[in-house]
Chain A
């Protein structure tokens, strides 16, 4: 399936993932630092995903502390 990453924006293909958690595992991302979004909806880590899904894993860390 297609996974959209940010900072900077890019797309990667991930094969064989069954749940959102699998995407974090395959891409070696710490879930605490991301939100999973499909069609504008937030997904928890246990949600099933399908091969034709487009999932954004949006990073939540930002700088700019004053």
Chain B
């Protein structure tokens, strides 16, 4: 296969664009896709302070590299979730990336700063590991954005993440979730930072390829707690469809955002956010879900230790 731009040997085929690219033209292609997304959805305004959630995986590190290459000034935040070697290794990849480029990386340590790990939360609460992890990440990332005075929380969700989430919400017919799924979640006066997803036009095969071509070392192994994760299974199913019909994932997601989502607008809940009585973070209840999880987990850890 030849690069569609320069006719040199291609390094990657992107079937949904009916195109093959050599390394340098693939990197240009990815930069264009992300820049187009940022402008199309008006994700950032001049002068706004940006912080990126960094996991040490291919998506967040590729996005940090892309945004830096495009001239954006972005800090990162790594959340140490206490998942054994997986968390420690992911931190090493995140630190190496930031140090090599002189970028600022905040580190938030769930066990050290809050008192419990994701495995402990999952073992002592009714939540699954991925649910406890997602709740902790949303809470801590928003806290870092607020404490650091950041206007925008940038996330590395890619096309596959968003298509799989949409698929899950359709299978379960969650009209409220379908109404809210968006590349830009606006800031809330209650204190939630604006959340943006500049990678939604980039498939995860492409973020992995970008990382390899840019020499970015990332955590290749999967989170040990995510084995059998439903979203990953949906991604595999969507990839089987994509293999038969290139472009299907993008059509599914962007067709929904352009033409399907307006039908769900009436299901958008206009919830009023109040300050959590424990931590002060925005919530719909008197005590936020994270503080409830923390209280429950810490009590259970203590009672187990006493046995």
Chain A residues engaging chain B, CB cutoff 8 angstroms: 6-9, 30-35, 37, 40-46, 58-66
Taken together as a complex, chains A and B put the C-alpha atoms of A37 and B231 apart, in Å, by 26
Interface string of B185-224 (1 = CB under 8 A from A): 0000000000000000000110111001100000011110
B10 interfacial contact with A, CB 8 Å: yes
Return the contact of A41 from the options B11, B13, B207, B232 (Cβ within 8 A). B11
- Chain A residues with CB under 8 Å of B164's CB are 65
Contact across chains for A61 and B160 when beta carbons are under 8 A apart: yes
Q: Are B155 and A61 in contact (CB under 8 A)?
A: no
A46 engages B231 (CB within 8 Å): no
Q: Which residue of B lies closest to A45 (CB)?
A: B13
B1 within 8 A of A: yes
Report whether A63 and B221 are in contact in the complex, using a CB–CB cutoff of 8 Å.
no
- Which residues of chain B have C-beta atoms less than 8 A from A31's C-beta? 243
- Which of B133, B137, B165, B222 has the most A CB atoms < 10 Å from its CB? B222
Residues of A within 8 A of B20 (CB): 44
A6 x B220 contact (CB < 8 A): yes
8 A Cβ contacts from B1-55 to A: 1, 10-13, 20, 23, 53, 55
B235 touches A37 (CB 8 A): no
Instruction: Return 15 A-B CB contacts under 8 Å, by A number.
Output: A8-B221, A30-B239, A33-B236, A44-B20, A45-B13, A59-B222, A61-B222, A61-B236, A61-B239, A62-B59, A62-B204, A64-B226, A65-B161, A66-B138, A66-B155
Given A30-B236, A35-B205, A44-B1, A63:B130 Cβ within 8 A: yes
User: Are B130 and A62 in contact (CB-based, < 8 A)?
Assistant: no
Q: Which residue of A lies closest to B246 (CB)?
A: A32
Knowing A62-B59, A65-B161, say if A35 contacts B208 (CB, 8 Å): yes
- Residue pair A42, B222 in contact (C-beta under 8 Å): no
Chain B, interface residues (CB within 8 Å), range: 35 or more
CB neighbours (8 Å) of A33 from chain B are 205, 235-236, 239
A34 to chain B: which residues have CB within 8 Å? 205
| Distance, CA A44 to CA B8, complexed state (A) | 13
Q: Which of A40, A60, A66 contacts B134 (CB 8 A)?
A: A66
Q: Which residues of B contact A44 (CB under 8 A)?
A: 1, 10-13, 20
Whether a CB of chain A sits under 8 angstroms from the CB of B105 is: no
Alpha-carbon separation in the docked complex, A45 to B236 (Å): 19
A56 (CB) vs chain B CBs: closest residue: B220
B1 lies within 8 A of A63 (CB)? no
Q: Which residue of chain A is the closest to B59 with respect to CB atoms?
A: A62
Contact yes or no, B204 A64, CB < 8 A: no
Chain B residues with CB under 8 Å of A61's CB are: 160, 204, 222, 232, 235-236, 239
The reply on B80 being an interface residue by CB < 8 A is no
User: How far, in angstroms, from A22 to B256 measured CA to CA in the complex?
Assistant: 36
Q: Is the CB of A63 within 8 A of B205?
A: no
Min CB distance B51 to A, Å, is 13
Distance between A3 CB and nearest chain B CB, rounded to angstroms: 15
B58 part of interface (Cβ distance < 8 Å): yes
Does B212 lie within 8 Å of A32, measured CB to CB? no
